[in-house]
Amino acid sequence: MIDCNLFIDNIFEGWTPDTDDILSKTRKILQHYLETPEIYENSCLANQEYESIAFDFLFCDSTKTHEINKEYRNKDYPADIITFAVFADSDEDERFVLDMEINLGEIIIGLDRVIDEAQKKGISKDEELLFLISHGIMHLLGFDHQTEEDFQFVVTHQKKALESIGIIYDKI
């Protein structure tokens, strides 16, 4: 398993997910993606030399995601998830590996939106959170979903990644 340095900052007061469990499952999701050839070979990690991967989480509320969306993305609405794919979004000649570690970027998740969506879908908050995390990791690896075909690729692989940690997710 690849060494993965993950950091969580939770500024949302309405729910504190089990950080150890979330980090453990996040590492397994990432490992699943790295072991899937059609993902790894088409990701920003292909042809890179590294020993570890890092990325950060910010758990907040939708007021904060609205502020971030407006300030950094010129989008005037709250989001359930925002990713800043620092490594993937950099030009290949501008990507750098510091001390054999690749910093993929940051995943920002509005936990109030997670709670609302979980209730609507009739699933646990953790399942919805892990669904968003699996989605965010795909973005950090360089995958987007501007076309229906790309969307289906991302969602199909998200479901497989969640299955690898024992979650059957059929609420999309």
Q: 62 is written with which tokens?
A: 């939708």
How do the domains of the chain map onto residue ranges? 3-163
Spatial strand order of the sheet with 52-60 comes to 3-10, 52-60, 101-110, 81-84
Tell me the pLDDT tens digit for each residue of 61-115: 999 999 999 999 999 999 999 999 999 999 988 998 999 999 999 999 999 999 9
Kindly tell me if the per-residue pLDDT of 172 is higher than 60: no
Confidence (pLDDT) at 2: 85
What is the CATH topology of the domain spanning 3-163? Answer: Collagenase (Catalytic Domain) (3.40.390)
Measure the N-to-C terminal CA separation of the chain; round to a whole number of Å: 29
Tell me the pLDDT tens digit for each residue of 50-64: 999 999 999 999 999
Tell me the pLDDT tens digit for each residue of 77-86: 999 999 999 9
In 3-state terms, what secondary structure has residue 91?
A: coil
The answer to whether 145 and 154 have CB atoms below 8 angstroms apart is yes
